[in-house]
């Protein structure tokens, strides 16, 4: 019984670790013929390359700096 659980756990763990690699390879294969501009230091324009939710994803940073100021109230 213990060996069967270990086997199933191993299969699940391998599939979890291989999922990002397989999806990245499939995505790269899907866009292998697309034009990608590698110039980053110059300003220039291109036609729209392609619309892809994975390629266009930008992680947004929702960090609001906190204020370290202490507000003192006068008690009357």
Q: Residue 6: its pLDDT value, please?
A: 94
| pLDDT tens digits, one per residue of 6-64 | 999 999 999 999 998 998 888 888 888 877 777 778 887 777 666 777 777 777 776 66
Structure tokens at 41: 């230091």
Give the mean pLDDT of 66-75.
64
Q: How far is CA 55 from CA 22, 59, 60, 62, in A?
A: 16, 11, 14, 21
Q: How far is CA 56 from CA 48, 51, 53, 59, in A?
A: 12, 7, 5, 10
């Amino acid at each position: 019984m213990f060996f069967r659980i270990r086997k199933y756990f191993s299969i699940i763990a391998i599939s979890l670790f291989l999922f990002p690699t397989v999806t990245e390879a499939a995505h790269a294969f899907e866009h292998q013929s697309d034009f990608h501009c590698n110039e980053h230091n110059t300003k220039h324009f291109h036609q729209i390359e392609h619309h892809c939710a994975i390629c266009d994803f930008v992680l947004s940073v929702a960090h609001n700096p906190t204020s370290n100021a202490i507000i003192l109230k006068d008690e009357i």
